[in-house]
Amino acid sequence: MEAALDVQDKSAESVRAVDRALDILSAFRGVAGGLTVAELLKRVDLSRPTLYRLLRTLENKGFVASSGDPQRFRLGPSVAQLAHSWNAGLNLADVAAPAMRRVWEATGETVALFVPEGLMRLCVAEMPSLEALSFRRGVGYRERLVRGASGRSILAQIESGIDLESYAAGVDVDLEKCRIELAKIRKRGYAVSRNELIEGAVAIAVPVFDGSNRVVASLGVFGPSVRLSQAKVDAFGSLLVTEGAALSAALGQAGVVSV
């Protein structure tokens, strides 16, 4: 009986050690220049001796590296190797499928995922509405980022430091109004367009981010104005913000916990 309890205690301690090691690695989220032990102690609930012991183990395994005086720790090459393996097997449309289905079931409207391609956006996944009157574009459809909710929800996140004129070249766009709209999108969290690309169509879309907080896609809902009242647009916008955050978390966005 005592032997069994001893095995259980050792097992529990091993699990705690793993939890603590993962807490240390998580403490580096959003950190570019590394952390000292004093800074790490503010981010993890560990004693200094325990922290040093776990840091030595992580460093031996290549998950952290250290340099300088005072000593600063940063994520090591083993983390980069795991990240490369994860990215290599990542299919954005597959990762987005659960969020897209939840939105599709909640709204009954067409749901689509777009990714940026230079000045353009490309539809890489779509779940068409089952309603007789509906709007869809289809996988492979391309459009300018400066046009439509799906495009501007992406553009609003990359506008800073870019030449907006190049994105609007050849398109009838009021640049000042566009800048104001992009600011509203960032504040509100989602973009809305009405009768812009298709007469009678309403689109609502949110940006999606990856682990480096870079916008990599937009998730949108598309339907006819006769069904999408302002109340529904507001409700769908809130839903998309929630699902966009969940998808971003699944893609590793820093500071976001996956649900």
Mean residue pLDDT of the chain comes to: 87
254 burial level (CB within 10 Å; 0-12, 13-18, 19+)? middle
**Least confidently predicted of 42-56, 79-93, 214-228, 229-243:** 79-93
Q: What is the largest CA-CA distance in the chain?
A: 80
How do the domains of the chain map onto residue ranges? 2-86, 90-250
Q: Note the pLDDT of residue 7.
A: 45
Q: CATH topology for 90-250?
A: Beta-Lactamase (3.30.450)
**Least confidently predicted of 10-14, 115-119, 211-215, 219-223:** 10-14
Q: Note the pLDDT of residue 254.
A: 65
Question: Looking at residues 219-243, what average pLDDT do you find?
Answer: 96
Q: Note the pLDDT of residue 68.
A: 86
Higher-scoring residue by pLDDT: 240, 9 = 240
Q: Which band of pLDDT confidence, cut at 50, 70 and 90, is reported for residue 257?
A: very low
Q: Note the pLDDT of residue 38.
A: 92
CA–CA separation, 189 vs 197, rounded Å?
A: 21
CA–CA separation, 123 vs 121, rounded Å?
A: 7
pTM assigned to the model: 0.70
Q: Which band of pLDDT confidence, cut at 50, 70 and 90, is reported for residue 11?
A: low
CATH no. of 2-86:
1.10.10.10
